Each structure stands twice: as C-alpha cells, then as structure tokens.
Amino acid sequence: MLSKWRKKLVPWFEAHEAEMLKLLELFVNMDTFSHDGKQVDEMGDIIIQWMRDAGFTAQRLPKAPIPEDEPWMEQLGHVVIARTHAPEAGPGVVLMAHMDTVFPAGTARKRPFCMDKAGDRATGPGILDMKGGLVMNMFVARAIKELNLMGDVPMTLTFSPDEELGSPTTTYHLGRELKGAHAVMCTEPGYIGGGVSVERKGSGHMLLEITGKSAHAGRNYAEGHSAILELAHKILAYDKHVDLDRELTVNTGLINGGTSANSVAPCASARIHLTFRALEDGKALVDSIRSDTEQTWVQGTHSHISGGLRLYPLTMTPKVMALYDLIVKAGEAADYPVTLERSKGAAESGYCCSVLDLPTVCSMGPEGTGLHTETEYLIPSTILPRAMILALTSLQAGEVFLPFGERKK
C-alpha cells in the first residue's frame, strides 16, 4: 500500500508546492507573539477559513478556565481545531502544531520572509518553529482528504495559541479533544538529516511575584524592604536545583522590578522555566521551587508563585516505538531515511504520551535550525519529503491502530 499511496501523493504535493510556500510566506509575515492573543487569533481565523475551504469542519474552541492566580492567561489566543468527521466519531489520526512564536510585534516587518533558492534556505520569524510544520499539516491533511486515502478513519488537526508558554490553556483542550486517538504526530522542527523525536523533556513555567516596601535608597534605606533583593536570593536558591547529569534545569529567564535606581524596590517579578526528563522529577522540582519560595531572606517582603508543570515528557513507550516503526517504513518508501532523536526540548506532544497514553512522535516538520533566534532558518528542500513521510505515516496509523492506540489484531 505504501507504494500505491506514494504514487498518488507525489504528483499532488508537486502540484501544490508553490501554494504551500505562498501560505508559509503569509504566515511568517504575520506576528503571532504568544502573549498577544489578538495577533494569534488573526492567524487562527485564516486557518479556519482555509480548512473549511478544504472540506473540513473548523472552529475556535472556547477559552479554557483560567486559574484565579494567573489572570495573565486571559490575553492568550484561542485553540483552533479542524476535523474530517463529527466529534462523536473520535479524533482518529491527529496532526498537531502551534501558531504562536517567541517574537514580539514588529519582528515580521523587520525580518520578513525571505527565500534563498540557491542556498536552499528560507528565513523569517517562526518559519521553523513552527509555521513550516503547521503549513505542512494543513496540506498533508488536504491531500489525504482530496485523494480519499484515509477511508472511514477520522483526521483531526489542532493549532495551539500558547505552546511557547507551555500550552497553559491548550492542554485543557487536548485532554478533551484527543482522548482515544489512533495516533498523534507533531510537526515541531525536524532534525537535519531526517531526525524525528521519540523522546522529549517536560517543562514547567512559573511566575514569581514579590512585594516589599519602598523607601529613599539613601536617606531612608533601612525603612525599605527590597523586593529585588529578595528576588535575588530566591533565584540563587532555585539555581541549586540544576542537575545537568539528570537533565534538570531551572532558568530564571525574565525579571522585572523596582521604580527607580535611588528607591528601594517595592515590587519584583520573575518568570522561571524548568525542564526535566522524568515526570516524577518534574513534580519534585516544582515542589522544591514552591518550598524555596516560602522562605524569606528580606524581612518585610511577601512572595507568591503560580504555575507549575506545563509540558509533559515524551517517552519511548511501546506505543511510541510502534508509531516510530511506521515512520521508518514511510521514510524508506519516500526514499528519505529517518533517524531517531532524543530531544532536549519540550513540546505539547508529550501530554498525548504521558497522560493520554497514545502513540505519539514529534519533530516531524521540515528541517532547519536556529529556532528562537534571528538566525532561524528552514531548509525548503525538506518540505516535500517530510510531507510525504507524514502522509504515509498517517495512512499507516489509520490502518494499524485502533482508538486509544491499540494495535489491530
């Protein structure tokens, strides 16, 4: 069947390659900063219309419940979902991507999409992480539907607005929409040389907020209680939990505080990012951070921390490896061999493995490097081979797996 499917898919992908690149250019030239829900929703609306035009049902999902101590989530965008079948039919084979990037408003205007055909390199903010994979999902699903290759097995596509923040609102919907799927494939950036991920770290995102008391830094220093000084002590305490041998990291990546250089700081805040390989290690790390937060070094300051585990680890379960075996076969059929990668990053695909216990593989998108930087680039020549592998794997998964990732007998 692989050769039969490939024979039908090759001319379809070749005929639509220019259209794929045009849509990729449109999306790369749109700012979709995670914290700007309006920007992300504008892209989501384009996706919804495109998927409807391709014959799918597509919609925004309602906002997930927001924790009382994390009101900042209100500003995030909406999850978009597209389906071939009614929800009652189940999710079937799932293609997963995220719309948001780490780049703030104005970045796309400064660094718009650029294609260097001779150098086989395309650049622009978020082109690799992960607008390239997102566009690939859309066209792979459309190809399978138009060519009527999947039969009665449903297909579901998810587009999240907040993956770069740990998917704090998306995870709520993944648990409700994807339960019982046949298999899940996430098109995070592929590794150069055909690499896909069967293992990923988990991550946590936490927000620390500290209040103190302001005072003149010269005349009345002793009357103040510095929130920034308390923050410094806590950062050092958190850093003691870094254990690179066990792949545990704690990174205080963003800090704010104070009102002026000559005033004792009445307020301070920090965003902390955690990564871990094992779920139990992640839970223990969050507990340790909370315990450190309860300690006070600067009397008169008060601290509050919110957040916790966000992205769950992807591990090499039997179901994961069964799906990987299908990817290997798809790569052989596409004349584009794949390799197994053990990623150090986290992605929302891990939830489908760790919590939903589904066959899940990640990093199936186009190849490139430099994600989250100004030097990020995508290798255009990998788009069609990767799309073929994704399509052939999806079709195999529809035949091999039953709901909940059980193997057919």
Domain range list for the chain: 2-200+314-405, 202-311
Cα–Cα distance for residue pair 287/23, rounded to 1 Å: 44
Sheet (strand 93-98) strand order? 57-60, 80-83, 155-160, 93-98, 183-186, 360-361
Q: In CATH terms, are 2-200+314-405 and 202-311 the same topology?
A: no
pLDDT value of position 408? 81
pLDDT at 89 over 90: yes
88: number of Cβ within 10 Å: 6
How far separated are the first and last CA of the chain, in Å rounded?
18
Cα–Cα distance for residue pair 104/180, rounded to 1 Å: 36
Task: Name the nearest CA neighbour of 64 among 155, 165, 164, 175.
Answer: 175
Tokens representing residue 340 in the block: 């197994």
Total-model pTM: 0.93
pLDDT value of position 344? 86
CATH, domain range 2-200+314-405: 3.40.630.10
Cα–Cα distance for residue pair 382/110, rounded to 1 Å: 26
Tell me if 215 sits within 8 A of 264, measured CB to CB: yes
SS3 readout for 170-239: HHHHHHHHCCCCCEEEECCCEECCCEEEEEECEEEEEEEEEECECCECCCCHHHCECHHHHHHHHHHHHH
pLDDT band at 405 (very low <50, low <70, confident <90, very high): confident
Cα–Cα distance for residue pair 64/128, rounded to 1 Å: 27
3-state secondary structure of 377: strand
Tell me if 348 sits within 8 A of 184, measured CB to CB: no
> pLDDT, tens digit, for every residue of 15-45?
999 999 999 999 999 999 999 999 999 999 9
pLDDT band at 404 (very low <50, low <70, confident <90, very high): confident
In CATH, what is the architecture of 202-311? Answer: 2-Layer Sandwich (3.30)
For 155-183, what is the mean pLDDT? 97
> pLDDT, tens digit, for every residue of 314-352?
999 999 999 999 999 999 999 999 999 999 899 999 999
